Structure 1
């Protein structure tokens, strides 16, 4: 455990997490994680994010100081004290209600289901459905409201992260591929939602979270149209 890579690999094994999963959780590319695990890179400016994703102490991961994890008995438990919990009224609204100052409406293409399994493609949606979205949330992702759009997801290839029935929001202005990013793509006359990784020779790896049932695919970059990068998704409990 003398080097950063030793500690990082030990934490990955302890958490039973893949390099791709860590990259996604920490906001890094998979090649960046690979450099760290192999020792080619000695540390990272995102050591706190990496430590949080791996449920280890940043001091330990960065410099080997102290224990890998805090003692559960002394570790603060998350939650809100019951005495401080306060309910807030929920305001119902419909299409006739004016937008709040921090709200915008984005198109919701309900008839265009994104393939997360045995997908389908309906190229047109005339329903005119809208979703209300926070301007602050879009700004956080650097997305302009005019480029935001939402779609329903059909299938289980992206489960458990994005299960069947989820709604994803994309930035249509973000079409440059960042390895490990989640994108809505058009391929073979299907709309799909997948993780993308660039490969030498103009190739792409198209990956699903549910990789045990949906193994990686390889395709030419010129055969895949990037519709936009997924910036947000909502998931129903059941």
Structure 2
């Protein structure tokens, strides 16, 4: 047990230092990260360590060079990220889905040039299912791991510290969102009143994550699929169906055709 104390002190001290640098209260940091003040208090006391996705969010708040520590704690290899500040030296990216490809850390140097702000978005080993079939294994976000980190323009991310990306499986959103796509989700937006007719990811404790368009009717909330063969799914019970976040955009590979 004694061998763990230096590590525990380090991540607790780093979070405390970030609080001071950002001039935030514990409640203020909790609000930025979407957690409870009690959770932040337990971090500072060294009782509970942040999850991987929270470490990435802390890194985004801190920026380089301090952010590298938090990203590494999340399991991200920062050796291939640019040495200079992410907030000042990441390249100018033309904000168009037609000519911009989200890239992994391994290709940063090949595709970025100029000056612009960018956000490091963790790709989690979590899958949102676009149909009624639940995942074979329901990976809870608190147990999820970071597979990679993707970069996107800051202007695309209203709440950069709350951005996550995840996989999609199933055909209920085809042809809008093909199976195998990657969703980029703003987890800060969860109020149903703000999400009518928006694409959302909804979480069920037993059925995992679902992606569809939220349609609010008098007395009921429905998830409506793009594929007409799937009937709307009633998600009115907010105790069972939690809004995980708004889908801001997604990327998918071109279909392969035999020549």
Identify which of 141, 145, 153 aligns with 1:126: 145
| TM-score when normalising by structure 2 | 0.49
Q: Distance in 1 between matches of 2:212 and 2:190?
A: 13
Query: Which structure is larger by alpha-carbon Rg, 1 or 2?
Result: 1
SS at match of 1:230: strand
Establish whether residue 217 from structure 1 lines up as the match of residue 233 from structure 2.
yes
Establish whether residue 115 from structure 1 lines up as the match of residue 132 from structure 2.
no
Give the equivalent residue in structure 2 for 1:171: 186
Establish whether residue 183 from structure 1 lines up as the match of residue 200 from structure 2.
yes
SS at match of 1:112: strand
Q: Deviations over 1:52-88 (max 9, x none)?
A: xxxxxxxxxxxxxxxxxxxxxxxxxxxxxxxxxxx9x
Across the two proteins, how many residue pairs are aligned to each other?
142
Q: CA RMSD in A?
A: 2.7
- Segments of structure 2 that go 5 or more residues without pairing to the other structure are 1-98
Q: Distance in 1 between matches of 2:243 and 2:169?
A: 18
Q: Distance in 1 between matches of 2:232 and 2:106?
A: 42
Contact 2:104–2:148, Cα closer than 8 Å, also in 1: no
Contact 1:158–1:194, Cα closer than 8 Å, also in 2: yes
Runs of 4+ in 1 over 4 A off after TM superposition: 95-100
How far apart are 1:156 and its partner, in Å?
A: 0.5
Give the equivalent residue in structure 2 for 1:144: 159
SS at match of 1:180: coil
Contact 1:119–1:154, Cα closer than 8 Å, also in 2: no
Q: Distance in 1 between matches of 2:196 and 2:245?
A: 14
How far apart are 1:128 and its partner, in Å?
A: 4.8
Distance 1:95 1:119, change over 3 A: farther
How far apart are 1:126 and its partner, in Å?
A: 2.1
How far apart are 1:222 and its partner, in Å?
A: 3.3
Q: Deviations over 1:33-57 (max 9, x none)?
A: xxxxxxxxxxxxxxxxxxxxxxxxx
How far apart are 1:221 and its partner, in Å?
A: 3.2
Distance 1:151 1:93, change over 3 A: closer
Structure number having the greater helix percentage = 2
Q: Distance in 2 between matches of 1:92 and 1:130?
A: 6
How far apart are 1:103 and its partner, in Å?
A: 1.7
- Segments of structure 1 that go 5 or more residues without pairing to the other structure are 1-86
SS at match of 1:113: strand
Give the equivalent residue in structure 1 for 2:211: 193
